[in-house]
Structure 1
Amino acid sequence: MDEYLEQILAEMPDSALQDVVRNILDEPIPEAVKRRLLRPLQPRKYRPILPPRKAKERKRKAIQEEFDPIPLQNVYRSVGDYQEELQGLFEEPEELTFRRARWAIGNFLRSWKMDVPEGHPQGADPRTFLESVEPKIHEKLEEELRVLRGGLKFQLALKVELVKVNPDGSEEYFEPVLRHRQETVLQENEITAALEEETFPRLQETLEKLTHRGSGWVVVQVHTLWLDIARYQPLRGGSYIKLPNKLQDKKAVVNVKNKDDHCLRWALRSALFQVAKNPQRPTKYPQADGLDFTGIDAPTPISQIGKVERQNGLAINVFGWDEGVIVHHVSKQPKYMHRINMLLIQKAGKFHYTWVKDLNRLLYDQNKHREQKHFCERCLHGYSREDLLEAHRPECKGIGHTAVRVEMPPEGKNKLAFQNHHKQLPALYIVYADFEALTTKVEGPELDPAKSNTQRTQHHEACSYCYIVVRCDGKTEAPVEYRGPNAAEHFLRSLQEEERGIQEVLANPQKMRMTSEDWESHWTARRCHVCDKPLEGDSVKDHCHITGRYRGAAHSACNLKLRLSPKTTTIPVVFHNLRGYDSHLLMQAISKVEGRVSCIPNNTEKYISFSLGQLRFIDSAQFLLAPLDKLVAANKPETFQITARYEPDCTLLLRKGVYPYEYMDSWGRFEETKLPPKEAFYSKLTDASISDSDYTHAQRVWETFGCKTLGNYADLYCRTDVLLLADVFENFRKTSQKQYGLDPAHYYTSPGLSWDALLKKTGVELELLTDYDQHLFIEKGMRGGISMVSKRHARANNPAVEGYDPEKPNSHILYLDANNLYGWAMSQPLPTGGFRWVEDCTALAGTIKDQPADGPEGFILEVDLGYPQELHGHHNAYPLAPERMVVQKEWMSEYQHGLLGKGMASTEVEKLVPNLRDKNHYVLHYRNLQLYLRLGLRLRKVHRALRFEQSPWMEPYIRMNTELRKQATNAFEKDLYKLMNNSVFGKTMENLRKRVDVKLVRSHEEDKLRRLLASPSFARANIFDDDLAAVEVHKSRLVLSRPVYVGMSILDLSKTLMYDFYYNQLLAQYGDRCQLLYTDTDSLLLEIQTEDVYRDMGKHVELYDTSDYPREHPLHSAENKKVVGKMTDECAGRPIAEYVGLRPKMYSILEANGNNMKKAKGVSKAVVRKHIRHEQYREALFEKTTFRHGMDVLRSERHHIYGQRLHKVSLSPFDSKRWIAENGVDTLAYGHRDAIPAGTTEMNDYLDELLKG
């Protein structure tokens, strides 16, 4: 439930949540609520009121001033006058019923929908609504149990409309969909408890969290109820199954040889009535066992274990066996209750419960540490002592706090080095493709700009495609094109024909052809061209099976690894923006074709990649992070050889294409015989039309390529996109193979490619952690970049700025950015292996200051730090040692509480907050600790420390890319080498806990779906259409096989560069004349009081990269061009006039020349660029105003793509990361001695009065 609430909060408008307790009478009642909830109640005629006393008279006047008087004609009208109005109140409302929404896969997955009409009395309150429709839900579940002839899993989803009145009187709307986790029902008598004890309370709890404590959100009405049902044929324990031999040898399990289906009961008897001899015999146990199995099925599914526990006062854990012990169910009973451990074994679809009499014996041989005797039931990690286990329990995470078996790489197999030698060879075939779509209009009422809301405006339907197949030697066939109905299905079937043709070619490999140069190269070869290790007499000739060309001398084993199989060789199919767009079009058709389907998911509806047979669909935008037109512009004209091959006049096409996307809303458009007018090219997504030159270009293309209809033009546009994509990606592949010896076509994303390039270039062998507690320890130290507004407004005062006042001190605003900050950190000594706990932490505390930064040994420590109050003023703007925390409203200022009282949002989510509080159990890199201590923090205690070996092993790779970028002659290569440095960091941060496992199931795969639904790991199902669904399953194992210590060290070391520059360079130079205004990971926005900041920079030019300054600028120099860690002026010497910062990633910088740099997180770039002005940031700050803007986006729902119009909050003055002073500009870090929480002053005054009295 908490995870789902976090998802709702993330989707909520920025001003959605606030948590200040207010009197509800202070909140205006939204008009929408008045219309739905309030009914006129008429007062009786009354006798005249006697004149009140003076006190009462004062109260009466106060009331009259507060409330509008009721018109006398309403007071004195009789009830009869309202007969007509009252009549409508007693009319029978429309009956609410379920209707079929979506069914899939032989009715295994079924979704029912109940729509609530506008103004329906039952929809006014969610609690009342659920109570009123409970009989209908109950009836539908009973019906489904009968129809499905077995158990089911169900989930309720409730769409509600919320409204809030904002300070300006506008009403803001939000329509979240509240869900509860799946509930299992096997019998009709379980329905009531599932609804009333689990589902309804949890839904209500979620809603209360959204509307609690004066948030301002009020329920308008319930709109929709969904009842999602999955047919469930559970894994049940049954009659006796023989233990696997490996389990028998452990002698840790009692397996009763029962002949009935009550094996759970027999297993419990063996645990409760233990016998020493022949415990497997049922006759050893009493029939009168005192157990209550009322309403418990036999065989008993895992889903009923909780019920067994509650009815019998037991605590039961259930484990499973899958070539090792896995976790099925961990008891939620109080910790003081003794745990009974069960093992569920299976054979040929039959399951059987056994009692684990000795969990330690069962688990002790799961690794080489045989001394382990105490195991965590959540992750199955073992410890040698009970106190170590108890210390571990609070940190045990699992996946999303769900229990799962955690496995570490075994010792002896815990080395990570480059192994993907086959990815050095080019993919034999690759396909480049693109779709075009019709954008049919979705009719609906216009949105009210005063509200935050969402409206569908378009539906996207695939109408045409083009693809081209490129062979490893560059040969191609003519592009394949199609325009017509069912374009996605037609595309997949056409690709499958290509697949079969490629398989035939692979089944008949070409014989090797060697030139004299090849023979000479082979006989003189000393190293294997595959693994680059010495041949030492083991040499065979390796050749390409497609072209017959000799590739090089190789070890026989390496050569065998490159052997091709027609049935397993993958064929990459490349789309630009596959994940965000084209995949949804393909998924609408994938159920209509044969072939095995799998995916690498982000979630149930968005995929990094997916496969159909041997076709592997990948997204070029996951490598090249720019729109196609910008990638084309960044490449040299000679790059586009494939385009020139099929479009002789391609020069006209080597620029941004012009296409009327939103004009193409029907099939009839393709028959039009002339180019539509310029205004037809307007795009809602970019909120822009095309320029006159763009339209002229479109006309030239129409004429040059002989277009007779708009269909011809659309086909040319699609074909051109595919040819340009092929040339761009082929150039990317060639560059990558030249510089890194790897083909990107074998990878899914740039982080995967760059990680292998790093391992290959450096030859490093990293040691993977084998100790789970060491892994958890390092995870505690994972903290991202700092993003924070330290001062919310500043205006420069110097001769370059309008309004310069020479009577005031000169001041400048400087926006600095660290060159490739993470690249600098990756160039530092980093851990490689040799991890071991430090035994004497007290001794280490005394010597840690003296540990060399570049020594062969490093440390990660868990410490307590004191933050002395005398540092609060000096460190306020940029506190050291930031912490992940949930900011409490009690810490906030009167100013912030005032904004909350006006309807602005404060979300209770964890953030990285720099603060001045003392730190307890803080995990950090030793170089950070050294810096913090030099800057004045006090080390109070070292709790734990992890020692490791280190070296600057990533530095050669970072340096290589930096030099290649300097030497690059075009924008494409410059961006590529920058990407290869930046993206490798992402791989060091990979969090395997966040990976999800999604199975795509089609209509002919009922058996597959039945197994997934019956599995204890089943999480939820998402129905896309009648023939396709996605099933998300929990992982039974979590294998932590990533060097997370590298990512943690990089994150910490990057902070040392920023802190060191700020404190030891800037503050050392300027003292309190330098004020940090804003920071975001690698940037510092500064207000500096000095005569000439550029002259000051010239005195320390070795710290800066000024290569972007104009050549005529005195500071221009290429000396530090692109040098990692050097500071760059983001404005390249252009003076800044004013800055306004509202919150992290929401700021405006106005340059003296009028240029405006703006950010507004969550708002489309088109809106920020065209509709948000610097003056609005000022107004938001100084007038405490909230701004809303409309924007158009593309979103998918069940793989259908819709254009949507959003109205949402764009600018808000509320920020919770720091304590904000009453002027709204100055801020204090939390923990500052002067950061007085709201209400403290009043409370102190009150206490003083009490003491005086």
Structure 2
Amino acid sequence: MNLCEVCGLFFNSDLESEHLTSAHHNMCFVNAFVEIESAAECRLVTLLAKNPNEIHTAEEYMESLRQNVCYYLSHYLTVHACVKYNLVLECYYYKSTDDNAQLKNFKTPNVPVFRLSNLNDQYSADIVKILSEMDEIETRGSGWVLAKISHLQLRINRYEPLRGATAYRRFQLPRFIKNKRCLVNPYRYDPAKEALGSCCATMCFKFSILGQVLRDNNINVHNITNYFKHKRLNDKYVWDCVQYPVALDDIQKFETINNMTISVYTADETARTIVPLKVSTNRSESDHRDILYYEGHYSWIKNFNILVSGQVIRRSGRCKHFFCRTCFQHFYQSALLTAHEKSCRNYKPTIVVPSKDTFLQFKNFNRSLKIPFVIYADIGYKLTPIPTCSPDPKTTYTHTSGIYRPTRCSYRVVSTTGQWREKQFDNIPSFVRSLELETMYIRSIYKQNVPMDNVPAGKPLLGVDICHICETQLKDIHYALDHDHVTGKVRGFVHRTCNLNYRLPRFVPIVVRDLSKINSAPLMEHFLKTGGVRVIPYKEKVGQFISLTRRIGEDGFSMRFVDMSKFIEPGDDYQLTVAKFERIRHICVERLKLDPLYYLSLGSYSWDCMLRYTGVQLQVIRDVDMLLMLKSGIRGGFVSCVRKHALANVNGIDPSKPPTSIHFFDVIGLYSSVMKDRLMPYGGFEWAHDFHVSDIFSHHEPGVNYIVEVDINYPENVRRDHSDLPLCPHHDEQLGLIASFRPREKYVVHLDVVRYAISKGLEVTRVHRAIKFKESNWLVGYVELNGTLRNENPQFSGFFKDLNNFLYGKSIERLGNRVNVRILRSDPRTLMKLVRLPTFYDRTILNSETYIVMNRRQRIKVTQPIYLGMAILDLSKLFMSHLFYDVLKPRLPRFELLYTDTDSLCIEVFTNNADEVIKEMGDVFHHDKSTAGPIGKLKNLTADSPILEFVGFRSKVYAYRCSENMVMKNIPPTAKFVFHDGFPYDDLKFNKHFRRTMGTSVYDLSVNRTIPTVAKTSDRKRILCSDNNHTLPLV
């Protein structure tokens, strides 16, 4: 007899299939999911499964729901035949610097499934995707740590695949491809052969497959009768495996059965381009077809290069192009295309549009004009309790204890002239209506164009010959006099082109505290009733928006709701927060020459400030192969838990054991230090075709460096010395970023890192490719400016610190993750059209009649210099390796590494005078606690209170004890350790405490009471030794 873990019944092994299909078994595990919302007549359905069994690991929790997910997918496949679904795992995360938990979610892509699909294999792929995303958020230096797994959402969407025409009709190709003669469409309308014409209309997919076979046998592909009379050629494929007319998603089944590959494209008449619908990543060299799907018909593409040739600008003297079928990049040699496709097949099919600009430089000089009118809004709430049953105190639980309702709304209008006024309301409709009236009044002021006062007679009277907008030399004739259109004050002489672009904004910024977290909910609820709102949603969050824009009037003037928390952390006193933000605006406009309120986030603002202050021209990479190579070299912050437990022996605690001490060091401004002290790339990017292993140390041209793709081996003779911190961390598909002794193949990295690795004993066996570039210290001035502003304004130190930290993240921004948003109301036809597209990303149900649909952008214009972010990340890891091996090891007594996290090190020193040695290392450590300290130096985080005991579980989960109190870092802060003799984490006990968190469900705000549990303690990134304490790298 076997025990079923799902329903608790015993069954015979030979009756397992009958038991799994029994009503009792299905009822037990189906109850795990509850339908929480639906829309568009159940075309969109969301199911939710909570985590009542206190499962701490995401992998174990999702495995426990495998049967549930497969059951519901099978059920809805009987209703809709085809569905698209995705999973959303929501977890509570916290930061050690903040006791408030935040709900974060991890999504899988929307994938189509059919009645014959293997649901178990697809669900396994979904688990891998979610686990990799969870690992990424913990290792990219964000500081977030998993506290509790909340629930899993299963979002099911009805899917109506593209299907061929069911009856004959005259087929017309788009005009822009009609005369290219690169398609084969054999059937022709003949009134005398009506039956044949109708038959051919449903068999167009078959014709598109057989066209190439007929051509290879020198048979006329345009004669329709040839497709029927050559039975030998027809028998080459199994045709009855799909239903005619063939749906787009049935093609994959046809490919599998007939051992071939098919790529499908369609025509966008508006953009006059060809776009991919389905692209085979592993294209068969022996049997492949490219097919055009247009207006319900399939046509064989006999020459793909001619079909898409109109989408590029031809060079004089060159007329033949070879196009990549995934990204549409073109080459002039077939060998170059073959080499490109090897790397391009690993990425999603997206048309990469080369930028017309050769360099990226600052252009938004109009944003140096301080916005004359700004509205600061605040929304107050009243907590309405919800009667609920008392949960079981013995289990982990989350339940809604109340709903927040807006009760007080107020705003303050602030002007550059010093005038301001305030108003208060008790409901959202009156509040929004008053904001609209304020916006219309401000628009009328902008339209007045007050004449200038005290007009000077000529340029010499001002005594300047510099344009005050772009700060460049004025020409003798092309200049104008600029003045403030609101006050009439003369500002100075400017270039005419600068004067034309130096305009008042076409919007009024309305700054709202916590817009993206809670305050967008009541506003969105009101706008959905009245209509006319554009949103920028959080792609990974449900019902939360970065910005809301509402158009006022017919001239395009609008009011734009901006989230204050994207710039500063709002305080409890909103009046003081407004004053603080206005002071920051004043400093930014005066010193950085840009107003932050033109931007939606601090990262975008810092990027433009850097471009303006440095005046740098960053080269735009137009070579797609070079872009893909640079992208593969981007690796986030490295985190590793090397030891599980360490007990310090200080002040003679145990005289029988040698003295030891534990220290936690942190690098002050790691990324800022790298940007200041190292040379950064900016241009001159080209392929170095003759770069070999022997050239690694021979190329030392000043101002020139390389990014290389190499194979690296870790020799046996250096593994013992590098066991704590192996060099050159690399990505693993299952584990994320790890530092192991495994070989690195096609490892893309900065050449300085390769040189350092070789100096430490690693072997480079091959150089596959190399990119040559120019570098200089062009970032030094901007980094030093923010450091100066931070020292001058200590109350705003966090703001100016983030201006430096956000730079590298902005340079490697994932433009492919941006989405197009459509808000639909009772429009199922458009909904099904958007869900049908291969770019469909996700949807959000607002109510039974209103929903938001998000589709990925199919055309990406890459302008970001990702080489800058890659260089900063690589050189920061080099900084930490140099610090560990070349600074601390030679100068400190014997020590072992316990834990490392991007810019911090926790070590155990085996000596009795470690503090004295650290104090003597003034060139490495910063000991003055009254100042933030110079960037690049180490700070001892526990200098006042020595660490007595350290406990490490895995990446981002550790704790240490100082004196009699436990200082918890990156462990659920409501958990309290009780230490006993022996190995500690066998005896950890947790006292549960309530924590309140704010939850947002589209436009309902609630307060949740959560009891967190300890995060998962298993660590798969290193091998645990037999003493259950030390670990070793993977091999």
Say whether the fold is shared (TM-score over 0.5): yes
Q: Which residue of 2 aligns with 1:1139?
A: 950
Q: Which residue of 1 aligns with 2:873?
A: 1051
| 3-state DSSP of counterpart to 1:1026 | coil
Deviation at 1:327, TM superposition (A): 0.9
Q: Does the alignment pair 1:773 with 2:625?
A: yes
CA distance in 2, matches of 1:928, 1:488: 57
Q: Which residue of 2 aligns with 1:476?
A: 420
1:846-865 superposed matches below 5 A: 846-849=694-697, 851-852=699-700, 855-865=702-712
| 3-state DSSP of counterpart to 1:930 | helix
Deviation at 1:451, TM superposition (A): 3.3
Q: Is the CA contact (8 Å cut-off) linking 1:865 and 1:937 kept in structure 2?
A: yes
CA distance in 2, matches of 1:471, 1:518: 30
Deviation at 1:978, TM superposition (A): 1.3
Identify the match of residue 730 of structure 2 among 868, 883, 887: 883
Identify the match of residue 449 of structure 2 among 510, 529, 532: 510
Q: Which residue of 2 aligns with 1:338?
A: 287
1:1193-1212 superposed matches below 5 A: 1193-1210=997-1014
Deviation at 1:1103, TM superposition (A): 2.0
Q: Which residue of 2 aligns with 1:526?
A: 465
Deviation at 1:946, TM superposition (A): 1.2
CA distance in 1, matches of 2:696, 2:88: 56
CA distance in 1, matches of 2:343, 2:744: 18
1:270-349 superposed matches below 5 A: 271-274=212-215, 286=227, 292=239, 296=243, 302-306=248-252, 315-321=261-267, 322-331=271-280, 335-336=284-285, 338-345=287-294
Which residue identity lines up with residue 877 of structure 2 in the other structure? Answer: K
Deviation at 1:1220, TM superposition (A): 2.0
Deviation at 1:293, TM superposition (A): 7.9
CA pair 572-158 structure 1, distance change in 2 beyond 3 A: closer
Identify the match of residue 921 of structure 1 among 721, 746, 750: 746
The CA deviation string for residues 1009-1035 of structure 1, in whole angstroms up to 9 with x for no partner, is: 565345453344321113431102132
Q: Which one has the bigger strand percentage? A: 2
1:671-686 superposed matches below 5 A: none
Q: Does the alignment pair 1:606 with 2:544?
A: yes
Q: Does the alignment pair 1:821 with 2:670?
A: yes
CA distance in 2, matches of 1:1077, 1:125: 34
1:781-800 superposed matches below 5 A: 781-799=633-651
Q: Which residue of 2 aligns with 1:375?
A: 323
Q: Is the CA contact (8 Å cut-off) linking 1:381 and 1:406 kept in structure 2?
A: yes
| 3-state DSSP of counterpart to 1:530 | coil
TM-score (norm 1): 0.68
| 3-state DSSP of counterpart to 2:578 | helix
Deviation at 1:919, TM superposition (A): 2.8
CA distance in 2, matches of 1:740, 1:224: 45
Q: Does the alignment pair 1:1084 with 2:936?
A: no
Q: Is the CA contact (8 Å cut-off) linking 2:29 and 2:68 kept in structure 1?
A: no
CA distance in 1, matches of 2:955, 2:106: 28
Deviation at 1:196, TM superposition (A): 4.4
Q: Is the CA contact (8 Å cut-off) linking 1:818 and 1:1125 kept in structure 2?
A: yes
Q: Which residue of 2 aligns with 1:195?
A: 115
Which residue identity lines up with residue 953 of structure 2 in the other structure? Answer: L
Q: Does the alignment pair 1:360 with 2:305?
A: yes
Q: Does the alignment pair 1:962 with 2:787?
A: yes
1:1131-1210 superposed matches below 5 A: 1131-1152=942-963, 1154=964, 1156-1161=966-971, 1163=972, 1165=973, 1167=974, 1171-1173=975-977, 1175=979, 1180-1183=984-987, 1191-1210=995-1014
Deviation at 1:761, TM superposition (A): 0.6
Q: Which residue of 1 aligns with 2:688?
A: 838
CA distance in 1, matches of 2:221, 2:437: 59
TM-score (norm 2): 0.81
Q: CA RMSD in A?
A: 4.5
Deviation at 1:340, TM superposition (A): 2.0
The CA deviation string for residues 839-893 of structure 1, in whole angstroms up to 9 with x for no partner, is: 2222xx22423555x931001112222322222222211211112225xxxxxxx
Deviation at 1:456, TM superposition (A): 2.4
Q: Is the CA contact (8 Å cut-off) linking 2:643 and 2:897 kept in structure 1?
A: yes
Q: Is the CA contact (8 Å cut-off) linking 1:376 and 1:382 kept in structure 2?
A: yes
CA pair 500-447 structure 1, distance change in 2 beyond 3 A: same
Deviation at 1:762, TM superposition (A): 0.5
Identify the match of residue 941 of structure 1 among 766, 771, 791: 766
Deviation at 1:1043, TM superposition (A): 0.6
| 3-state DSSP of counterpart to 1:875 | coil
Q: Does the alignment pair 1:1067 with 2:1011?
A: no
Q: Which residue of 2 aligns with 1:38?
A: 9
CA distance in 2, matches of 1:976, 1:95: 49
CA distance in 2, matches of 1:533, 1:878: 50
Q: Which residue of 2 aligns with 1:971?
A: 795
Max Rg structure: 1
CA pair 137-822 structure 1, distance change in 2 beyond 3 A: closer
Q: Is the CA contact (8 Å cut-off) linking 1:601 and 1:998 kept in structure 2?
A: no
Q: Is the CA contact (8 Å cut-off) linking 2:663 and 2:907 kept in structure 1?
A: yes
Q: Which one has the bigger helix percentage? A: 1
CA distance in 1, matches of 2:626, 2:253: 37
Q: Is the CA contact (8 Å cut-off) linking 1:275 and 1:284 kept in structure 2?
A: no
The CA deviation string for residues 1215-1238 of structure 1, in whole angstroms up to 9 with x for no partner, is: 23222223332222223xxxxxxx
CA pair 623-873 structure 1, distance change in 2 beyond 3 A: same
CA pair 1088-599 structure 1, distance change in 2 beyond 3 A: same
CA distance in 2, matches of 1:406, 1:1140: 48
Identify the match of residue 999 of structure 1 among 822, 826, 845: 822
Which residue identity lines up with residue 518 of structure 2 in the other structure? Answer: Y
Deviation at 1:246, TM superposition (A): 4.5
Q: Does the alignment pair 1:1103 with 2:924?
A: yes
CA distance in 1, matches of 2:783, 2:282: 52
CA pair 885-589 structure 1, distance change in 2 beyond 3 A: same
Sequence identity percentage: 25
Q: Is the CA contact (8 Å cut-off) linking 1:459 and 1:1201 kept in structure 2?
A: yes
Q: Which residue of 1 aligns with 2:143?
A: none
Which residue identity lines up with residue 470 of structure 2 in the other structure? Answer: C
Q: Which residue of 1 aligns with 2:499?
A: 559
Deviation at 1:548, TM superposition (A): 2.7
CA distance in 2, matches of 1:1088, 1:457: 49
CA pair 343-108 structure 1, distance change in 2 beyond 3 A: farther
Q: Is the CA contact (8 Å cut-off) linking 2:547 and 2:563 kept in structure 1?
A: yes
| 3-state DSSP of counterpart to 1:1104 | coil
Identify the match of residue 869 of structure 1 among 716, 719, 728: 716
Q: Which residue of 2 aligns with 1:1226?
A: 1030
Identify the match of residue 571 of structure 2 among 628, 642, 649: 628
Q: Which residue of 2 aligns with 1:435?
A: 379
CA pair 313-1217 structure 1, distance change in 2 beyond 3 A: closer
| 3-state DSSP of counterpart to 1:849 | coil
| 3-state DSSP of counterpart to 2:952 | strand
CA pair 284-1211 structure 1, distance change in 2 beyond 3 A: closer
Which residue identity lines up with residue 756 of structure 2 in the other structure? Answer: L
Deviation at 1:1045, TM superposition (A): 0.6
Q: Which residue of 2 aligns with 1:495?
A: 435
Q: Which residue of 2 aligns with 1:1217?
A: 1021
The CA deviation string for residues 811-855 of structure 1, in whole angstroms up to 9 with x for no partner, is: 33222211211011112111111112222222xx22423555x93
Q: Which residue of 2 aligns with 1:571?
A: 508
The CA deviation string for residues 724-748 of structure 1, in whole angstroms up to 9 with x for no partner, is: 3332221121111111000000001
CA distance in 2, matches of 1:1196, 1:1082: 34
CA distance in 1, matches of 2:46, 2:939: 58
Q: Is the CA contact (8 Å cut-off) linking 2:462 and 2:492 kept in structure 1?
A: no
The CA deviation string for residues 127-169 of structure 1, in whole angstroms up to 9 with x for no partner, is: 9989998997577549xxxxxxxxxx645689999xxxxxxxx
1:109-128 superposed matches below 5 A: 109-111=43-45
CA distance in 1, matches of 2:559, 2:645: 55
Work out the number of aligned pairs and report it: 946
CA pair 594-474 structure 1, distance change in 2 beyond 3 A: farther
| 3-state DSSP of counterpart to 1:874 | coil
Q: Which residue of 2 aligns with 1:547?
A: 487
Q: Is the CA contact (8 Å cut-off) linking 1:866 and 1:938 kept in structure 2?
A: yes
Deviation at 1:325, TM superposition (A): 2.5
| 3-state DSSP of counterpart to 1:769 | coil
Q: Which moved more, 1:307-316 or 1:924-933?
A: 307-316
The CA deviation string for residues 1096-1148 of structure 1, in whole angstroms up to 9 with x for no partner, is: 23433122222217xxxxxxxx8xx6322122222355433332222222222
